[in-house]
Copies of this chain bind each other. A is one copy, B any other.
Amino acid sequence: MKTKIFLKQKQLIPIVAGIIAVAGLLLASCNNHSSVGQGAISAQDAAQRVYVAPGQYDEFYAFMSGGYNGQVSVYGLPSGRLFKIIPVFSQNPENGYGYSEETKPLLMTSYGFIPWDDAHHPELSQTNGVPDGRWLFINANNTPRVARIDLKTFETVETIEIPNSAGNHSSPFVTENTEYVVAGTRFGVPIPQKDVPIASYKQNFGGVLSFIKVAPSGDMDLAFQLMMPGFDYDLAHAGKGKSKDWVFFTCYNSEEAHTLLEVNASQKDKDFVAAINWKKAEEYVQQGKYHEFPGTYYDNRFDTSTQTAHSYVHQGVKVLIPSECPGLVYFIPAPKSPHGVDVDPSGNYIVANGKLSADLSVFSFDKIQQAIQQKQFDGEVNGIPVLKFDAVLAGVVKSGGLGPLHTEFDDKGNAYTTFFISSEVVKWKLGTWQVEDRQPTFYSPGHLMIPGGDSRKPWGKYLVALNKITKDRYLPTGPELSQSAQLFDISGDKMKLLLDFPTVGEPHYAQAIPASILMPRSDKIYQLASNHHPYLTRTEKDAKVVRKGNRVDVYMTEIRSHFVPDNIEGIYLGDTVYFHVTNLEQDWDAAHGFAVEGNRDNAELLLMPGQTKTLKWVPERVGVFPFYCTDFCSALHQEMQGYVRVSSPNDHVALTWSTGKE
Q: CA of A193 to CA of B647 in the docked complex: distance in angstroms?
A: 11
- With A56-B35, A478-B155 as known contacts, state yes or no: A111 contacts B620, CB within 8 Å: yes
Q: Are A68 and B630 in contact (CB under 8 A)?
A: yes
The 8 Å CB contact of A632, one of B69, B261, B506, is B506
Q: CA of A270 to CA of B471 in the docked complex: distance in angstroms?
A: 53
Q: CA of A288 to CA of B57 in the docked complex: distance in angstroms?
A: 63
The 8 Å CB contact of A43, one of B21, B51, B118, B189, is B51
The 8 Å CB contact of A522, one of B194, B477, B523, B645, is B477
Q: Are B84 and A82 in contact (CB under 8 A)?
A: no
Q: Are B93 and A90 in contact (CB under 8 A)?
A: yes
Q: Are B195 and A622 in contact (CB under 8 A)?
A: yes
Cβ of A10 under 8 Å from chain B: no
Q: Are B113 and A474 in contact (CB under 8 A)?
A: no
List the one stretch of A210-218, A366-374, A392-400, A635-643 in contact with chain B.
A635-643
Q: Are B635 and A355 in contact (CB under 8 A)?
A: yes
Query: Which residues from B are CB-within-8-Å of A190?
Result: 623-624
- With A24-B561, A475-B515, A476-B519 as known contacts, state yes or no: A94 contacts B82, CB within 8 Å: no
CB distance from A241 to the nearest CB of B (A): 30
Closest partner residue, chain B, to A189 (CB atom)? B624
List the one stretch of A26-34, A123-131, A318-326, A450-458 in contact with chain B.
A26-34
CB distance from A622 to the nearest CB of B (A): 5
- With A24-B636, A232-B638 as known contacts, state yes or no: A197 contacts B569, CB within 8 Å: yes
Query: Which residues from B are CB-within-8-Å of A67?
Result: 630-632
- Most chain B Cβ neighbours within 10 Å, of A69, A81, A638: A638
CB distance from A296 to the nearest CB of B (A): 10
The 8 Å CB contact of A567, one of B21, B76, B198, B480, is B198
**Interface class of chain A by DSSP:** loop
Q: Are A195 and B90 in contact (CB under 8 A)?
A: no
- Most chain B Cβ neighbours within 10 Å, of A27, A51, A52, A189: A51
CB distance from A407 to the nearest CB of B (A): 16
Q: Are A502 and B83 in contact (CB under 8 A)?
A: yes
Q: Are A68 and B604 in contact (CB under 8 A)?
A: yes
Q: Are A262 and B153 in contact (CB under 8 A)?
A: no
Q: Are B477 and A83 in contact (CB under 8 A)?
A: yes
CB distance from A561 to the nearest CB of B (A): 5
Q: Are A646 and B195 in contact (CB under 8 A)?
A: yes
List the one stretch of A327-335, A376-384, A549-557, A585-593 in contact with chain B.
A585-593
| Size range of the chain A interface in the assembly | 35 or more
Q: CA of A155 to CA of B478 in the docked complex: distance in angstroms?
A: 8
Closest partner residue, chain B, to A21 (CB atom)? B636
- With A193-B621, A261-B641 as known contacts, state yes or no: A635 contacts B356, CB within 8 Å: yes
Q: Are A115 and B94 in contact (CB under 8 A)?
A: no
The 8 Å CB contact of A252, one of B265, B481, B639, is B639
CB distance from A582 to the nearest CB of B (A): 14
Closest partner residue, chain B, to A646 (CB atom)? B195
- With A35-B55, A82-B82, A635-B23 as known contacts, state yes or no: A589 contacts B48, CB within 8 Å: no
CB distance from A205 to the nearest CB of B (A): 8
Q: CA of A262 to CA of B55 in the docked complex: distance in angstroms?
A: 33
Closest partner residue, chain B, to A116 (CB atom)? B603
Within 8 A of B (CB), among A591-630: 591, 593, 595-604, 606, 608-611, 620-626, 628, 630
Q: Are A24 and B634 in contact (CB under 8 A)?
A: yes
List the one stretch of A274-282, A424-432, A493-501 in contact with chain B.
A493-501
Query: Which residues from B are CB-within-8-Å of A646?
Result: 195
Q: CA of A499 to CA of B55 in the docked complex: distance in angstroms?
A: 9
- With A506-B632, A523-B478, A647-B195 as known contacts, state yes or no: A43 contacts B53, CB within 8 Å: yes
Binary interface encoding of chain A residues 518-561 relative to chain B, with 1 for a CB under 8 A from any of its CBs, else 0: 11001111100000000000000000000000000000000011
Query: Which residues from B are CB-within-8-Å of A567?
Result: 198, 258-259
Cβ of A468 under 8 Å from chain B: yes
- Most chain B Cβ neighbours within 10 Å, of A114, A501, A624: A624
Cβ of A40 under 8 Å from chain B: no
Q: Are B502 and A81 in contact (CB under 8 A)?
A: yes
Q: Are A76 and B475 in contact (CB under 8 A)?
A: yes
Q: Are A475 and B252 in contact (CB under 8 A)?
A: no
The 8 Å CB contact of A94, one of B21, B69, B142, is B69
Q: Are A595 and B639 in contact (CB under 8 A)?
A: no
Closest partner residue, chain B, to A658 (CB atom)? B259
Q: Are A606 and B68 in contact (CB under 8 A)?
A: yes
Query: Which residues from B are CB-within-8-Å of A526?
Result: 479
Q: Are A601 and B81 in contact (CB under 8 A)?
A: no
Closest partner residue, chain B, to A235 (CB atom)? B638
- Can you list 6 residue pairs at the A/B interface with Cβ under 8 Å? A24-B560, A81-B474, A93-B115, A144-B597, A189-B625, A479-B611
